[in-house]
Amino acid sequence: MPFPAGSEQAEVQEQETDKAENNELEAEKAAEKEIANLEQKEKPTSEQDTAQNEEKEASKEKQSVKQENESAAEEQEQSAKKTATPQKQADHGPDAQVTRVVDGDTVKIKLNGQEETVRLLLVDTPETKHPSKPVQPFGPEASSFAKQELAGKQIEVEYDGPKRDKYGRLLAYIWVDGKMFNQKLLEEGLARLAYVYDPPYTHYQEYMKAQNKAKDKEKGIWSRDGYVRDDGFYYGRGTEKESSGNNNSSSTEEKASENEANEGENSSSSNALKYDPNGPDRDCGDFDTQQEAQDFFEAAGGPAKDPHRLDGRDGDRVVCESLP
């Protein structure tokens, strides 16, 4: 109900109306301010989300690039493996081919276009080729094993010490398919460790371990009590001991070796000497082969006498060992 103008009630009513309008205005301002504050708070959050999204995208891109690089590297590695030339095994010595297996510890090979007889270093197998004695136990097994492992095979020939023996045979380790055949004989109990004439030998310790393992397992030659001796093997019956490991001219090794040497082309010694043993002084340079020098040395009185000093300082009765 309106009050008369100028009355006290009308004045109070007007003041209250102004106050209400002011309060409404203040409320509107406060609301606007609140909205502005909320908008201000939301803005950084939006920018932060954008930055995080950009970072995620960049990380994804980096991961994708990394995976592509890894995949390319893997493909390149696989391709390289397919096309790469296989690496050759360690070089142990000259290459050769086995042309014939004589017995367990002696073979014939073709080396540099020439046929050579090789006597395996540091091993001795029971005899099968002795000119006057019966075949020894495990000799045929050793020969059979040698044929199985070596016949017709490409091999490497490793020298260790004097290159040849007094019969002109090469003294060597034989490597076949990356393994030493000499050691395999010992591992199988088909040979004994022997003829350690010129130590130290490169593979002696390995051979000793191989022999001991076969001995502990009683394999092959070690299965017969008392069969293996320091100087050779007992035969299968009786008490006669076959001495195949000494250096005397009457030993099995000497006799059998002479027989083996006479089987091949390397037994080419001739009764006719190139020089007179009682003539002018000679040295190794005067001879074409070791056998030729050896024959001359023996004809001149060797090994008891060596007037031409062909045996050198080692006194091993084998002269001019550097000659073919």
> Going by C-beta distance under 8 Å and a sequence separation of 6 or more, which residues neighbour residue 323?
284, 287, 288, 289, 290, 292, 293
What's the distance, CA 253 to chain centroid? 32
Q: Which of the following is catalytic: 119, 164, 192, 282?
A: 119
3-class SS of residue 244: coil
Residue 127: active-site member: yes
Cis geometry, peptide bond prior to residue 94 (ω within 30 degrees of 0): no
The token duo for 263 is 């089987």
Q: Are 97 and 153 in contact (CB under 8 A)?
A: yes
Separation of alpha carbons 198 and 315, rounded Å: 12
Residue 213: CB atoms within 10 A of its CB come to 13
3-class SS of residue 143: helix
Residue 119: active-site member: yes
DSSP state letters, 245-287: SS-STTSHHHHHHHHHHHHSTT----SS-SS-TTSS---GGG-
Single-letter amino acid code for the residue at 65 = V
Q: Which of the following is catalytic: 116, 127, 260, 292?
A: 127
Residue 137 phi/psi, 5-degree rounding, is: -55, 135
Q: Which of the following is catalytic: 141, 158, 169, 282?
A: 169
Residue 317: active-site member: no
Known catalytic residues?
119, 127, 169
